[in-house]
Each structure stands twice: as C-alpha cells, then as structure tokens.
C-alpha cells in the first residue's frame, strides 16, 4: 500500500478531562464543557486526535456534528495489556485471567472504533488501532501480531486509513511487520523525556522523524505526539528543563517546521490533565497542555 495523502493542517491531541474527572473513575466532561473546549481550539487547529472510543470521544463527535464545528478527528482505540511486561516500572504484570479478560475488552474497543468510524465518516478522517502498546516500558503491552490483526480487522470494515500510534523507536525494529500493514505510520517524539535541552530539541525531533521516514520511503509518516512539559517533580525530567518559555520555544519551532515540510504533527496536548500520573502536583504527566486545566492560556497561547 502506498503513501496516504492527507491535506496538511495544524493538529493537536485533545483530552478534555477537568479537575475531578477521569476516565479511570468514569467521570467524563459534559457536552457544554467539551463545546467550550472546542470553541477555544477552533480556528487554530483543524485536526484533533482522540485516544479512545469512550464516552468522552462520543460526546466530542456529537458536539462537532451538532454545532457544525470545523474539525476532523483521528480516532483511536485504547488497547490494554495482552501480555505481562516485567520492564514496566509502575505495574505491567497480570494474571492469566486478567489477560484473557483484556483480550475481550480490546476486541470490543476495536468494534466500537469501527462503529464510530462508520457513524461519523465525514468527521473521522483516520483511525488508530492503539497507543504506545508495543514500547518496552509500557504497562499495556500487546504483541505485534495482535496489533496487526486489529489493524486488518479495522481495514476490512472502514474506509478511513488505519495506523498505530507509537514511539519512533519500535518502528525501526519490532514494528517492521506492522509497517507493511498500516496505511500510514504514526510516531511519537519527546526530546525532553530523553534528557535533551531546548537547543538540541528540534534537531533531535527531526532525527527521530527522518529515521522512520527514511526507513519507509513509500509510507506517509505523521507525528501523533510531540510536546514540551511546563512542570516536573524530577521524575524522568529535570525540573530546570521545563517551563512555559521552553514550551513556547519548542512549540513554535515544531509548528514552523511542520508547516514548511507539510508534515502533520499533533502537538501534545491541548489542556493540562490533573488526573494523570501520580498524586504529586508537579508530576510531569499533568503538565503538557498549551492551556492550564482551568482553560487559561499558558505563555505559548498568550
């Protein structure tokens, strides 16, 4: 299968969970809250990436349709562990019963993805069969053969092109069989997680992108996550390497390059999400938004 030719537009990852809300507790943003978010994002971004086929994504699709908003969605199914992963530092080991239950969950999520893709074909422009489920540190490790099966299942039922969203590194090795099957390749690149300072951040991003793009000259490569945090408790990221000024610098360089080269790049992410990661206030997972959790703009958006 050859390259997929997407029309270039600015893109962002969107998850609208506010204080007191979380997919883990099943407390989801309301229609009005999502409408408020999308009105903030409209005009600046055309492509939105959603991670899962949960109640949040269903409401996002409803808001876009009913309010006539100008967005196109990359919709993912969030697949969970099908094997244990001893390499995960925060718990990737499961019982046989849990693994079997997870496989049923995954199939249902893939089926839900197919259903939504076919219900909203004018809004959903691409599909992903999972997110960061093959990288060595993940707590939801899924064998490559399973991902291939899910991709083919979606392709058999939907007209939208299908991908799998993953860190750039597995695409250079274990995901080569998957690369033959997906319609386009999606990579994540995070210089700040890999201890890069701002002066080498953009060159490192380009290095990651070109390593994959050069390995698959006949495939379109999209960046489905790239961003810069604004706080850190020191876990994995040096606190001196993250703030709003650095985020603004990286964002502007990233967007300028993406536009010039016409590479669709989903900035991570629209809004801070306090439910993520540990209970520590400065946990970096909570602080990747271009907007604070109260929807006020950070420096980069002012």
Let me know: does 185 contact 218? Beta carbons within 8 Å. no
Answer yes or no: is 3 within a domain. Answer: no
Provide CB contacts within 8 A for 279, sequence distance 6+.
Answer: none
Answer yes or no: is 123 within a domain. Answer: yes
pLDDT digits (tens, 9 = 90+) for 13-35: 999 999 999 999 999 999 999 99
Q: Which residue has the tokens 């945090």?
A: 229
Could you please report the per-residue DSSP string of 26-76? Answer: TB---HHHHHHHHHHHBTTBSEEEE--SSHHHHHHHHHHHHHT---EEEEE
Could you tell me the CATH number of the domain that includes residue 68? 3.20.20.80
Answer yes or no: is 257 within a domain. Answer: yes
Whole-number Å distance between alpha carbons of 219 and 171: 12
Which pLDDT score is estimated for 290?
Answer: 98
The average pLDDT across 258-277 equals 98
Answer yes or no: is 117 within a domain. Answer: yes
Which pLDDT score is estimated for 3?
Answer: 75
Answer yes or no: is 6 within a domain. Answer: no
The average pLDDT across 274-281 equals 95
Let me know: does 299 contact 248? Beta carbons within 8 Å. yes
pLDDT digits (tens, 9 = 90+) for 58-94: 999 999 999 999 999 999 999 999 999 999 989 999 9
Res 256 pLDDT > 90:
yes
Let me know: does 286 contact 274? Beta carbons within 8 Å. yes
Let me know: does 106 contact 83? Beta carbons within 8 Å. no
Are β-strands 162-167 and 265-267 bridged in parallel, bridged antiparallel, or unpaired?
unpaired
What domain range is 86 assigned to?
A: 11-301
Which pLDDT score is estimated for 77?
Answer: 98
Whole-number Å distance between alpha carbons of 289 and 285: 10
Give the chain's domain count. 1
pLDDT digits (tens, 9 = 90+) for 106-148: 999 999 999 999 999 999 999 999 999 999 999 999 999 999 9
Q: Which residue has the tokens 């995901």?
A: 175
What's the whole-number average pLDDT of the chain? Answer: 97
Whole-number Å distance between alpha carbons of 126 and 115: 13
pLDDT digits (tens, 9 = 90+) for 154-208: 999 999 999 999 999 999 999 999 999 999 999 999 999 999 999 999 999 999 9
Which pLDDT score is estimated for 2?
Answer: 55
- The burial class, CB within 10 Å (0-12 / 13-18 / 19+), for 215 is middle
Whole-number Å distance between alpha carbons of 266 and 248: 15
* Neighbour-count burial for 261-292, b at 16+ CB within 10 Å, e otherwise: eebbbbbbbbbbbbbbbeeeebbbbbbbbbbb
Answer yes or no: is 132 within a domain. Answer: yes
Answer yes or no: is 77 within a domain. Answer: yes
Could you please report the per-residue DSSP string of 227-284? Answer: ---S---SSSS-GGG-SHHHHHHHHHHHHHHHHHHT--EEES-SB--TTSSSS-TT-G
Answer yes or no: is 243 within a domain. Answer: yes
């Amino acid at each position: 299968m050859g390259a997929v030719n997407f029309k270039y537009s600015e893109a962002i990852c969107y998850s609208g969970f506010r204080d007191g809300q979380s997919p883990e507790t099943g407390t989801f943003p309301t229609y009005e809250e999502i409408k408020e978010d999308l009105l903030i994002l409209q005009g600046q971004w055309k492509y939105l990436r959603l991670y899962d086929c949960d109640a949040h994504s269903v409401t996002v699709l409803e808001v876009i349709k009913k309010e006539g908003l100008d967005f196109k969605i990359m919709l993912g199914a969030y697949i969970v562990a099908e094997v244990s992963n001893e390499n995960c530092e925060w718990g990737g080991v499961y019982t046989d019963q849990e693994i079997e239950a997870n496989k049923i969950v995954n199939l249902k999520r893939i089926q839900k993805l197919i259903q939504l893709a076919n219900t909203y074909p004018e809004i959903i422009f691409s599909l992903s069969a999972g997110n960061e489920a093959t990288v060595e540190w993940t707590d939801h490790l899924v064998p490559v053969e399973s991902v291939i099966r899910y991709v083919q299942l979606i392709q058999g039922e939907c007209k939208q092109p299908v991908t799998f969203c993953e860190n750039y590194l597995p695409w250079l090795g274990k995901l080569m069989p998957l690369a033959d099957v997906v319609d386009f390749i999606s990579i994540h690149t995070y210089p700040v997680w890999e201890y890069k300072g701002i002066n080498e951040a953009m060159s490192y991003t380009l290095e990651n992108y070109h390593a994959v793009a050069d390995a698959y000259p006949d495939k379109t490569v999209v960046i489905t996550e790239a961003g810069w945090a604004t706080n850190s408790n020191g876990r994995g990221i040096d606190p001196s390497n993250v703030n709003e000024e650095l985020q603004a610098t990286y964002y502007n360089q990233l967007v300028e390059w993406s536009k010039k080269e016409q590479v669709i790049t989903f900035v991570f992410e629209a809004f801070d999400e306090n439910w993520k990661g540990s209970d520590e206030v400065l946990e970096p997972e909570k602080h990747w938004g271009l907007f604070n959790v109260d929807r006020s703009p950070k420096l980069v958006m002012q």
